[in-house]
Amino acid sequence: MIYEGPRDMTDQEIEAVLSDSAAGARRRIEAVLSAIYYGECEWAGDILIKEFSRADEDERISLCILSGTYYLMRKTTYRIRESLALAKAFHKTVNKQIPYAEGTVQDCIEELEHCMKIFGKK
């Protein structure tokens, strides 16, 4: 999925998009991206994990990529173990359901593991 760059949205605007059942995948992904860039660090991490937990397979691919963006940009390990566990669990199903995405998800797992090392969480 190709998404637009982050928009400077308030927390309330982001929450409104993410709680709107009519919001499409692209709109939700863009809201998560805005949270990563403009939201408070921990809040953005919570949003990312929450959305990954409820997203469909195609959205999870984008959210895996955004996970790496979040951890590298914010230089944090906030809830990184949970993000890594979600990515690893998704990787197990990706092989069967969406084989073309296996490499992307594996790259994301390696990126999260790298973030754990460079930002001090072992």
Q: pLDDT tens digits, residue range 26-59? A: 999 999 999 999 999 999 999 999 999 999 888 9
Question: Quick one: CATH architecture of 11-118?
Answer: Alpha Horseshoe (1.25)
pLDDT per position as a tens digit, 4-20: 678 889 999 999 999 99
Q: Residue 46 class from Cβ within 10 Å (0-12 exposed, 13-18 middle, 19+ buried)?
A: middle
Taking the C-alpha atoms of residue 110 and residue 43, their distance in angstroms, rounded to an integer, is: 24
Characterize 96-111 residue by residue with b for buried, 16 or more Cβ atoms within 10 angstroms of its Cβ, and e for exposed. eebeebeebbbebbeb
Q: How far is CA 22 from CA 17, 33, 50, 101, in A?
A: 9, 19, 17, 26
**113: nearest Cα among 83, 70, 93, 91:** 83
* Residue 75: pLDDT over 80: yes
Strand ranges inside the chain, DSSP E:
none
- Give pLDDT tens digits for 98-114: 777 888 999 999 999 99
Q: What is this structure's pTM?
A: 0.87
